[in-house]
Amino acid sequence: MSASDEIWILGIHMTKFGKHFDKDLVDLGSEAILGALADAGVTMADIGILAAGNLMGSGGIGQQLQKQVGQTGIPVYNVSNACATGATALRTAIMAVKAGEVDMGLAVGVEKLAGAGLLGGGGSKKSDDNTWEPKGRYGAVASTDGRIGTDTMPGVFAQVGMEYLHNHAYGGAEFELFARISQKNHSHSTLNPLAAYTKEMSLEQIMGDIMIAYPNTRPMCSANCDGASAAVVVNGEKLKTLSLEQQRRAIKISASVLTTDPYQEACQVLPDVNTLTRNAAKQAYEQAGIGPDDLDLVELHDCFATAELVHYDNLMLCDEGGAVDFFESGAPWRDGRLPVNVSGGLQSKGHPISATGIANIWEVCQHVRGEGGPRQIEGAKVGLAHVIGLGSACGIHVLEKSAA
Amino acid sequence: MTSTGTTDTDTTSAGTPPSQVPLVDYLVLGDDPHLLASECTACGARYFDRRNACASCFATEFTKVRIASEGTVRAFTIVAFAAPGVPVPFVSAVIDCDGTSVRGNLINVEPDPDHVHTGMRVRLTTYLLGTDDAGTEAIGFGFEPVEN
Ligand SMILES: [Zn+2]
């Protein structure tokens, strides 16, 4: 691989996740961009392309941000890809750099979700006249949410976790198992000042909290909140022309993968979040020339406690079917063999949808740069960041310490 | 679209049953209610929605096939918190009906983890969902436990 084929993160930033009542989307996105540019030691004048992710806003977030941080006439790609939106924005910038159209690109993801409530549920709509009228692709005369299963995210991912336990003949206490996964992430969050929630939670507190969709109680669900993240990417040739300090802090993107779900028997009945994640992981390990055993830490998409379990398996952090054993061994705790979600994960760090993809990468970068502060995983050299959006889309990036 | 006699609104005469519509068009009513899927004639993939082509093999020919009305619960959740207007708690499940996965609620069972578990046998059943101003009944479906 020649230097021009290599892609590096030159600078990266995330805002604090939480409630930002005094800031709008543009404030948060600008903060992330300005932070990433400062971290990279470059300005908007160096940037050849902007990829901007936002899901719940009014559209055109990239141009709105340019009007605050610098209108240089570069192309903007506004992207939207469910919970994989941030990773998709980054991947878009990477593709432009990789294609040789530009030597430096910028990606940003921003969301305001504080107080958004439950996502995914449709609710019943009353028709104008009071007669049954078939509508939509199922010819439904009334809302199917709640009548033919659930459309809510906590419920969908609850079934994903329960299906995994069923398929692998788990005979233990399922509710407690998932609650203990959540306990780990809440414990990790106490070391992350940028997390929305940083409180240790006991098993009793987690299991005794409000039930959302069995077996997921409220602290086992990702927290709706506000936040933004951004990254500057550069090719290897350009990096060589930059300062030694920039080269030293640059992080190599040794894999960048985006997949969607290939057809499987049940995938249009219950979303299949497994196959596309496993496919993305396989591609990522191949691109990076490493295996799961080479990883020093993983940030995976624990949108619900039930989701984290299945992704241990999908990302091949354990033997097939061995996710429960992997967790029970203590491996994914921060002092374990392969720490998972040392940031606190989406359950405590929060999940401002479009910001999540780049924020997971930011966390890994902190550790491989040795800048993780109190929660630094000692000697971390390579890490993996994973996100998944229902629909579905899966983004995986493998990040490696600079050799310089 | 449906053959449930929506043209005749004069159903007040004694002895005439009210007309009925299914909640979704893949639910077939009558003496023997069942679900009907569109099956790809090329690869056998089954779908419940209106199709443009097959997501598995890209073919465009489909036939209607009856889905087994008994099956095994492969996954479930008990939804306690839902969108406004959706009554809770309810049990959402994925049921393996002889190799075809079906989404539905588990009904006629206590919605708690002591009474619901993966691997349980269930069968299709229907219920009255509501009646509109024309007197037409909407019929929904769910799955209930099969007693051993
Ligand atoms: Zn087909």
Residues B59 and B117 in one domain: no
Residues B140 and B125 in one domain: yes
Q: Residue B29: inside a domain, yes or no?
A: no
Question: What angle is formed at CA B50 by the lines to CA B47 and CA B51, rounded to 5 degrees?
Answer: 70
pLDDT > 70 in chain A, percent: 96
Q: What is the pLDDT of residue A115?
A: 75
Is B74 an 8 Å CB contact of chain A? yes
B119 contacts A266? CB cut-off 8 A: no
Which of A131, A145, A147 best probes binding to B when mutated, by most B CB atoms within 10 angstroms?
A147
Residues B100 and B79 in one domain: yes
Enumerate residues 6+ apart whose C-beta is below 8 A from A2: A236, A237
* B100-125 pLDDT per residue, tens: 999 999 999 999 999 999 999 999 99
B77 contacts A155? CB cut-off 8 A: yes
Taking CA–CA distances from B99, the nearest residue in chain A reads A265
Mean pLDDT over residues A10-17, rounded? 98
A139 contacts B83? CB cut-off 8 A: no
Mean pLDDT over residues A163-192, rounded? 97
Q: What is the pLDDT of residue A114?
A: 84
Nearest to B133 among A130, A137, A165 (CB): A130
CA atoms A355, A345, A284, A401: torsion sign: positive
* Domains defined for chain A, CATH in brackets: 3-115+224-400 (3.40.47.10)
Is B98 an 8 Å CB contact of chain A? no
3-state secondary structure of A347: helix
Enumerate residues 6+ apart whose C-beta is below 8 A from A257: A280, A283, A284, A287, A394, A395, A396, A397
Q: Residue B16: inside a domain, yes or no?
A: yes
Is B30 an 8 Å CB contact of chain A? no
Q: What is the pLDDT of residue A223?
A: 86
Q: What is the pLDDT of residue B1?
A: 36
Asked if pLDDT for residue A401 goes beyond 70, the answer is: yes
Residue B147's pLDDT band, with cuts at 50, 70 and 90, is confident
A144 contacts B23? CB cut-off 8 A: yes
Asked if pLDDT for residue B10 goes beyond 70, the answer is: no
Residue written as tokens 């159209």? Answer: A101
Is B130 an 8 Å CB contact of chain A? yes
Lowest mean pLDDT among A107-116, A381-390, B58-67, B99-108: A107-116
Q: What is the DSSP string of B16-28?
A: PPPPEEESSTTEE
Q: By the 8 A CB rule, do B12 and B136 touch?
A: no
Give A158's contacts in chain B (Cβ within 8 Å).
Answer: 77
CATH number at B16 reads: 2.40.50
* B120-134 pLDDT per residue, tens: 999 999 999 999 999
Residues B90 and B145 in one domain: yes
Residues B84 and B133 in one domain: yes
Residue B4's pLDDT band, with cuts at 50, 70 and 90, is very low
Residues B85 and B97 in one domain: yes
Q: By the 8 A CB rule, do A141 and B23 touch?
A: yes
**Tokens coding B116:** 């619901």
Q: What is the pLDDT of residue B18?
A: 83
Question: What angle is formed at CA A273 by the lines to CA A13 and CA B44, rounded to 5 degrees?
Answer: 150
Which of B1, B21, B23 best probes binding to A when mutated, by most A CB atoms within 10 angstroms?
B23
Asked if pLDDT for residue A133 goes beyond 60, the answer is: yes
Q: What is the pLDDT of residue B54?
A: 97
Q: What is the pLDDT of residue B148?
A: 61
Is B109 an 8 Å CB contact of chain A? no
Q: What is the pLDDT of residue A11?
A: 98
Lowest mean pLDDT among A34-38, A235-239, A323-327, B7-11: B7-11
Phi, psi dihedral angles at A59 (to 5 degrees): 100, 155
Give A165's contacts in chain B (Cβ within 8 Å).
Answer: 118
Asked if pLDDT for residue A124 goes beyond 80, the answer is: no
Nearest to A265 among B22, B101, B132 (CB): B101
Give B102's contacts in chain A (Cβ within 8 Å).
Answer: 269
Residues B14 and B80 in one domain: yes
Nearest-Cα distance to chain A for B15, in Å, is 22
Which of B24, B47, B101, B102 best probes binding to A when mutated, by most A CB atoms within 10 angstroms?
B24
Residues B86 and B61 in one domain: no
Residue A165's pLDDT band, with cuts at 50, 70 and 90, is very high
* A84-115 pLDDT per residue, tens: 999 999 999 999 999 999 999 999 999 999 87
Taking the model in full, what pTM does it have? 0.93
Nearest-Cα distance to chain B for A84, in Å, is 22
User: Domain tally for chain B?
Assistant: 2
What was the ipTM of the complex prediction? 0.92
Mean pLDDT over residues B39-43, rounded? 98
**Tokens coding A307:** 């989701």
Q: Can you give the residue range of the structural domain that contains B12? A: 1-24+69-148
Residues B56 and B75 in one domain: no
Cα A226 from chain centroid?
14
Task: State the average pLDDT for chain A.
Answer: 95
